[in-house]
């Protein structure tokens, strides 16, 4: 049977990116995701065939965008000229600083998804985001173990990637609340909280823990 030219035609160039842009523009403009694939396609100039050729659902669009955004930041830091010489601690610092800087391009989306949530919970759109970060954290931690920087503590070591993810989420949360000039307090928080994590999985938790408490105490006092 002869197939129509519509069925046989290849996807338009950068179609996936165009869908991302249309979805995010509508999300930011209206404050909620598109209500249906049909209405989204009608308003954005796609056919349903084009949309479903790229994504199984509207929810998959945003999930894929968050995952892709994180992957680009990870790829950027891992491609750095000095990455291979960095300790695990410095790799984590490099990533967190890079993500905080990159997030200025999508701060309103982070606020929409994370504001008011605790660092122990994920929005549904962040499932792939977390999975990609955990894979990155595992590579980083394996590097630290191989160099002797990170202690091997048997079954406890299996919790390290999740601990790194909670650090990451706490940095995002702090950054979203930071009102200091050029987010200077976020930079300090990244350094101090990363020191706590790596001292916990290393040997020096008390010194860095007290340093972090001294840093946070004025902020907690001002809230009282």
Residue 174 has pLDDT above 60, yes or no: yes
Same domain, 110 and 217: yes
Here the contacts of 6-12 (C-beta below 8 Å, separation 24 or greater) are: 6/49, 11/50, 11/53, 11/54, 12/50
Give dist(CA 175, CA 30) in Å, integer. Answer: 24
Backbone angles phi, psi at 92, to 5 degrees: -65, -45
Same domain, 9 and 120: no
Same domain, 103 and 207: yes
Same domain, 201 and 158: yes
Domain end residue (candidates: 39, 56, 73): 56
Residue 142 has pLDDT above 60, yes or no: yes
Q: What is the pLDDT of residue 158?
A: 87
The pTM of the full predicted model, rounded to 2 decimals, is 0.83
Q: Domain of 195?
A: 63-223
Q: What is the CATH number of the domain that holds 35?
A: 1.10.10
Same domain, 93 and 201: yes
3-state helix, strand, coil in the chain (%, to 5): 75, 0, 25
Tokens of 43: 């308003």
Tokens of 61: 């669009």
pLDDT digits (tens, 9 = 90+) for 47-63: 999 999 999 999 999 99
The number of distinct structural domains making up the chain is: 2
pLDDT digits (tens, 9 = 90+) for 76-129: 999 999 999 999 999 999 999 999 999 999 999 999 999 888 888 889 999 999
> By C-alpha distance, which of 49, 93, 40, 98 is closest to 70?
98
Domain end residue (candidates: 56, 79, 95): 56
Quick one: CA dihedral 6, 7, 9, 15, positive or negative? positive
> By C-alpha distance, which of 205, 206, 211 is closest to 189?
211
Find where tokens 């891992």 sit.
78
| CB-CB neighbours of 94 under 10 Å | 17
Same domain, 40 and 94: no
């Amino acid at each position: 049977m002869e197939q129509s030219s519509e069925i046989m035609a290849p996807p338009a160039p950068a179609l996936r990116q165009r869908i991302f842009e249309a979805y995010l523009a509508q999300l930011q403009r209206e404050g909620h995701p598109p209500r249906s694939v049909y209405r989204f396609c009608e308003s954005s100039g796609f056919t349903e065939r084009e949309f479903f050729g790229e994504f199984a659902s509207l929810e998959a669009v945003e999930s894929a965008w968050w995952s892709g955004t994180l992957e680009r930041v990870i790829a950027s830091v891992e491609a750095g000229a000095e990455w291979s010489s960095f300790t695990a601690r410095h790799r984590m610092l490099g990533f967190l600083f890079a993500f905080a800087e990159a997030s200025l391009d999508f701060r309103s989306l982070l606020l929409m998804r994370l504001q008011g949530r605790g660092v122990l919970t994920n929005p549904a759109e962040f499932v792939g985001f977390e999975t990609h970060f955990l894979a990155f954290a595992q590579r980083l931690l394996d590097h630290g173990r191989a160099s002797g920087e990170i202690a091997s503590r048997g079954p406890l070591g299996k919790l390290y990637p999740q601990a790194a993810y909670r650090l990451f989420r706490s940095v995002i949360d702090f950054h979203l609340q930071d009102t200091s000039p050029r987010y200077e307090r976020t930079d300090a928080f990244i350094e101090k909280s990363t020191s706590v994590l790596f001292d916990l999985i290393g040997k020096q938790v008390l010194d860095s823990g007290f340093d972090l408490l001294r840093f946070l105490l004025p902020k907690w006092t001002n809230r009282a």
